[in-house]
A and B are shown apart, each in its own frame.
Chain A
Amino acid sequence: MEVLAAQIVNGLSLGSVYVLLVTAFNLLLLVAMIIHYSFPVIVVFSMYISWFVMNLSGSIWLGIFSAVLSAVILNVITAPIFQHIMKKRGEVDINATMVASMGMGMIITDILSHVFNQGFPIAFPDKLTGNDKAPLIKAGLITVSQGQIIILLSSVIFVIILFWLLFKTRTGRAFRAIAEDPHEAKLVGIPLMKTGFKSYAITGLLGGVTSVLMAVLLGSASAGLGDNLGHKVLAVSIIAGLGNLTGGLVVGLLLGIFEAIIQGYFAGSWSNTVSFLVMLVIVLAKPKGLFGSNI
């Protein structure tokens, strides 16, 4: 029982990272109308950038700043590619955007495995991860570190900001209008491309923050991490129902907790097998998602 409780606590921080990734993914899907499968690859790329800058300058804050900056820049400069692909097709061909995103993923992943650290996994300094400090709370098996608190708090804050932005601001209103009916939104006078562009910038920002949180949580990264996360994010999004923001929150958090619990009971990499199996069973049983899709 104590193992379970301890793993649930651990899973919360993992789950909140998934939540941020899935929310950004869903936002891109709803507003920019693309399946950005490789969005997590961009996040991992930012992790590498921040590692690089941290090693070069020795400053943690500079590293964090550069991670956020690189995610925003990368997301914004890829926007014209997606927008061009969509324009060329006349209407939304979402398969093509997924394939283009896969292409981007291939390029970035390969660059990561060639250029940085000779292809070996990178490890973040203890100053960032806080691994050298004693945990804040310790009760039996349950330990809560400073990093976990930071991750949980910042995820909650960012999700709240995001929902505030969506439901209380002019830009958010335009986002929701496009998500419901792009053609109608255009007739109302919402500039589709410009508003889509904003969504790239916002998700880029979100991705940058997530990359820092992931660095704190995992303490290391490898080139293959991006593909792995890409798969998980798409899976969460589909299990929740594509484009279902609240569903994504629930399923993302559940996946994190579930993975942590499994890790508590199964040895090493068998835990991955179990979580893949469960994912597979859910998707096969409910191909259209648990909570219904908005697409």
Chain B
Amino acid sequence: MSLTLFYYLSITAIYILMSWALYLPYRVGQLHFMSVANMAISAYFAAIMAVNFSLPFGIVLIAGTIIGGIIGYIVSIAIGDAPCFSVVIVGFTFIYLINTIVENMEYLGGSMGIFNIPKVLKHSDSNRAFLLIIIYILVLFTGILINRFEKSKYGRAAFTINANKNIALSSGINIKKMGMLLQTWSSSIGGMCGVMYAFIMRSISPDNFTFNIVGVCVTMLFVGGINTMWGPLIAAPLLWGFPLILPEKLQSWKIVLYGIFLILILLIKPEGLITREWIKKIKNKYKRVIEPL
């Protein structure tokens, strides 16, 4: 497998997961960027564990996810039901905080970062195949979980909170608990992505976890469609893929293009490419095809 294809497939998967991590708290109207900070924390955790302590991949993955969840949970105790922009600022501050800490610590490689994260499997090709399988299993698993959540009574509760907080309160929905659940979930997805990112790229530096990642994930979420989980699934491969077919000169302008897409979609079709109605239509059509059989 070529390196380009491997990176394309694996980074796309990571962006799908990261966009979902933003999508979940947005169900209750919060832009929660903690997942990016958690991605950085868990990536560094994974790198240190693999390089200095040679812990096996499976344990690191599970531990990284749990660390993300724990940090997310602790933070969510304070901001589970906070207004959207307080949540935003907590996320950003965490990202900057992690960045400055990493840059100042020799142990974490400073601004140079950590290299030589070991392969999981010895052979290069089988290592790549293994990582791809793992990350797409994670995508599938997370997707099914989110889908289940949306259809459950909790999903409806989240929808109510987003639509009208007062109605949600008076119908006995615990807004804070719902916010905490979604924020914790989002952070643990961030942690999971961090570990995978470290093993996929095999070198990490503070530059990997900056405001840019937030921008890219937000673009994928909003261009894909903020009201459905299918949005990122479609938008991530498209948005991550299309710069690759552009002429090389234009490729370095990727972020500018993302910004333009983001503003255009907000201007033209604020609900994103894929809407709930569209999903419903597809489902109905699908039913009609299936039924005569």
Contacts and interface: CB of A to CB of B under 8 A. Distances in A.
Candidate in A35, A104, A284, A285 with the most chain B CB atoms within 10 angstroms: A284
A114 B83 CA distance: 36
A234 interface: yes
A269 B103 contact: yes
B93 A106 contact: no
A287 B90 CA distance: 9
Interface stretch (B43-51, B61-69, B136-144, B260-268): B260-268
B83 A288 contact: yes
A89 B215 CA distance: 22
Contact of A106 (B29, B87, B97, B259): B259
Contacts, number: 127
Given A99-B262, A106-B262, A276-B96, A283 B267 contact: no
A270 B97 CA distance: 10
A153 interface: no
A242 B270 CA distance: 25
Interface string B252-283: 11011011101100110010000000000000
A119 to B, nearest CB: 10
Contacts of B258: 103, 106
Contacts of A114: 252-253
Contacts of B133: none
Contacts of A221: none
B78 interface: yes
How many chain B residues sit at the interface, stated as a range, is 35 or more
A235 interface: yes
A136 to B, nearest CB: 33
B120 interface: no
B94 interface: yes
A272 B211 CA distance: 16
Contacts of A111: 256
Contacts of A273: 97, 100-101, 104
A276 B75 contact: no
The B contact surface, by secondary structure, is helix
A85 B100 contact: no
How many chain A residues sit at the interface, stated as a range, is 35 or more
Contacts of B100: 269-270, 272-273, 276
Contacts of A100: 262-263, 266
A266 to B, nearest CB: 10
Nearest to B214: A102
Interface string B100-111: 110110000000
Interface of A: 35, 81, 84-85, 88-89, 93-96, 98-100, 102-107, 109-111, 114, 227-228, 231, 234-235, 238, 242, 268-270, 272-273, 276-277, 279-280, 283-285, 287-288, 293
22 contacts: A94-B84, A95-B31, A100-B262, A100-B266, A102-B215, A102-B218, A103-B266, A105-B215, A106-B219, A106-B258, A106-B259, A106-B262, A109-B255, A110-B255, A227-B211, A228-B96, A234-B89, A238-B86, A276-B93, A280-B93, A283-B89, A287-B78
Interface of B: 29, 31, 75, 78-79, 82-90, 92-94, 96-97, 100-101, 103-104, 211-212, 214-215, 218-219, 222, 252-253, 255-256, 258-260, 262-263, 266-267, 270
